[in-house]
Amino acid sequence: MLLILLFFCIFIANNMTVIEIINQIKLEKTANHIYPDHSLFYEVIKIGMENNMSKSQIRAELNNLYFEHKIKVGRTINDKYIKLI
């Protein structure tokens, strides 16, 4: 998992939107045969903050995406998952 996050840190361009971050995480997990391929909340926060977004800005964008029915959110054992619809 740490290697995947390091990969994201190196290759993700600046000024990405939250939906682009979620999609990138899904694509990377699928390419590396990691299942389930949903994004975890902490992954989105970590990558967003590395792209100069504040935590509150990321949460606000996630809330907007949820109310627009563009993402599905659920609980895991230790975190929340985020899937694109």
Domains of the chain: 17-84 (1.10.10.10)
- 60-82 pLDDT, tens digit each: 999 999 999 999 999 999 999 99
Q: Report how far residue 44's alpha carbon sits from residue 28's, in angstroms, rounded to the nearest whole number.
A: 13
Burial of residue 14 (number of CB atoms within 10 Å: 0-12, 13-18, 19+): exposed
Q: What's residue 61's pLDDT?
A: 96
Q: Select from 3, 85, 2, 74 the least CA-distant residue to 40.
A: 74
Extract the tokens encoding 71.
């993402």
Is pLDDT at 8 greater than 60 in this prediction? Answer: no
Name which residue leads in pLDDT, 25 or 11: 25
